[in-house]
Amino acid sequence: MVKILSESEVEALVSVEELFDKVAEAFKTLSLGELLMPPRERIRVEGFGDILLMPCLAQSLGVFSLKVVSVYPRNIELGLPTTNAAVLVVNPENGVPELVAEAKALTGLRTAAATALSVRYLARRDASRLGIIGCGYQAGWQLKITSRVMKTEQILVHDLYRERAERLADEFRARTGIDVRVCLNAQELVEACDVIITATTSKTPVVWKDWVRPGTHISAIGAYTPEMAEIDPRVLASAKLVVDSLKAAREEAGDIIQAVNAGLIRWDNVYGEIGEIIAGRKPGRLREDEVTVFKTVGTAAQDAAVASILLSKTRSR
């Protein structure tokens, strides 16, 4: 019988420690070629948004997962979530579907884990100021998980919709006691922060090179199509650039694709995949003054990582 999990059940079943371990394993096996992850299928619904199909066979994790996720930026105007998702989990040993779960929380958890892992391997150890540009659904997860892996003394937030930024700041401040402040513009945030997360659907950069201080780490999670870009290509040209999947980045990472097309960088300027660093095949940050950028378009391997946790917990019930 197929088990069905709600968003609240997904949240309750996944611990942060397991999340880090499983997502790190997924990235490592992805970089080592030990799982099967077909390209993400993007179906454009003209005038509305995107529907994405994301399959992954991760035998080391004991799962096949298929996530269907929609990203509809105009939903903000309708009072609806920008992102919605569900995941189907199949036992790869017998082909039997075992689990269907609402996957907004799953997506938030695995995307935040990717940022947190990038901070662990690429940010300065004394990083204490965390900033996020884009205060939609992903933002809460990003702050919750990433603040666990750095000495977070202050958080700065910014969004084109100021009320969203204020709501996020109020909620996170009340829940954690951390000093959270709303910035009136992105420049103010970037110039002040050690770690910057961009979580927007922007088609023009929201982080510019002149604002970025030496030693900054940036996790760019928002742009997932060739038309989107959050980071000034001049930042990419001068930074240590790490991706989740080079194959996926070539297809979808608009920040990098546009920089390559403009002749500012080449694909061989990409330092490597985060899984190579986790596996010890390449070092992470080498100097205190390095600017590091982690560009993630989101991978089905990350979904499989969280799916494996859910499957393990529901089987033991």
Alpha-carbon distance of 66 to 78, in angstroms, equals 28
Alpha-carbon distance of 294 to 275, in angstroms, equals 12
Q: Which has the closest alpha carbon to 254: 198, 175, 182?
A: 198
Q: Check if 240 is active-site.
A: no
Give the angle subtended at the CA of 243 by the CAs of 133 and 150, to the nearest 5°: 55
> Which of the residues 22, 28, 67, 104 is marked catalytic?
67
Q: What is the 3-state secondary structure (H, E, C) of the chain?
A: CCEEECHHHHHHHCCHHHHHHHHHHHHHHHHCCCCECCCCEEEEECCCEEEEEEEEEECCCCEEEEEEEEECCCHHHHCCCCEEEEEEEECCCCCCEEEEEECHHHHHHHHHHHHHHHHHHHCCCCCCEEEEECCCHHHHHHHHHHCCCCCCCEEEEECCCHHHHHHHHHHHHHHHCCEEEECCCHHHHHHHCCEEEECCCCCCCCECHHHCCCCCEEEECCCCCCCCCCECHHHHHHCEEEECCHHHHHHHCHHHHHHHHCCCCCHHHCCEEHHHHHCCCCCCCCCCCCCEEEECCCCHHHHHHHHHHHHHHHHCC
Give the angle subtended at the CA of 107 by the CAs of 105 and 108, to the nearest 5°: 60
Query: What is the rounded end-to-end Cα distance, in angstroms, of the chain?
Result: 14
Kindly list the catalytic residues: 67
